[in-house]
Structure 1
């Protein structure tokens, strides 16, 4: 997340604060010192979304966000998608499983 924020010409303190905010928002605060390859499928997916949100996008494209993750993680991602939509972020999802996507 911080690598994305470093492209925005923010000072170190602002980068750390925004990164902590995003990780907290997506339930990843306790994993902030973990390497990405140590995360579960659902945690990795949430990290991907956090990186996407770092630049305050108006829209997100999620390509098969529910594939390869546990059912509980699918529920968590679905909840996150609804929350992002409610915040006014446009979301386009491509997926083979229509039931999970809706």
Structure 2
């Protein structure tokens, strides 16, 4: 099986992903069934920042809550600490 090793750049840690014509496995061990030619499974190239560093403040954003009201991340917390969790759900 032909496997390409791809290194994504990070200021903290270099991570690897493997791809073949049948599947994609990222640096966290997640395997997707899409072929490497799918634009939905392509590994970003160049200077791609994967996210915030530990302790780095998140930018302000607004989203609707469960009642449809717009909530501002920073304004509606009144300075309280918050944890943001993001879940990888499905293979598109």
Shorter-chain TM range is: under 0.3
TM norm structure 1: 0.24
TM norm structure 2: 0.25
The answer to which structure has the higher strand fraction is: 2
Work out which of the two has the higher radius of gyration on C-alpha atoms and give 1 or 2. 2
Q: Which has the higher contact order (CA 8 A, sep 6+)?
A: 1
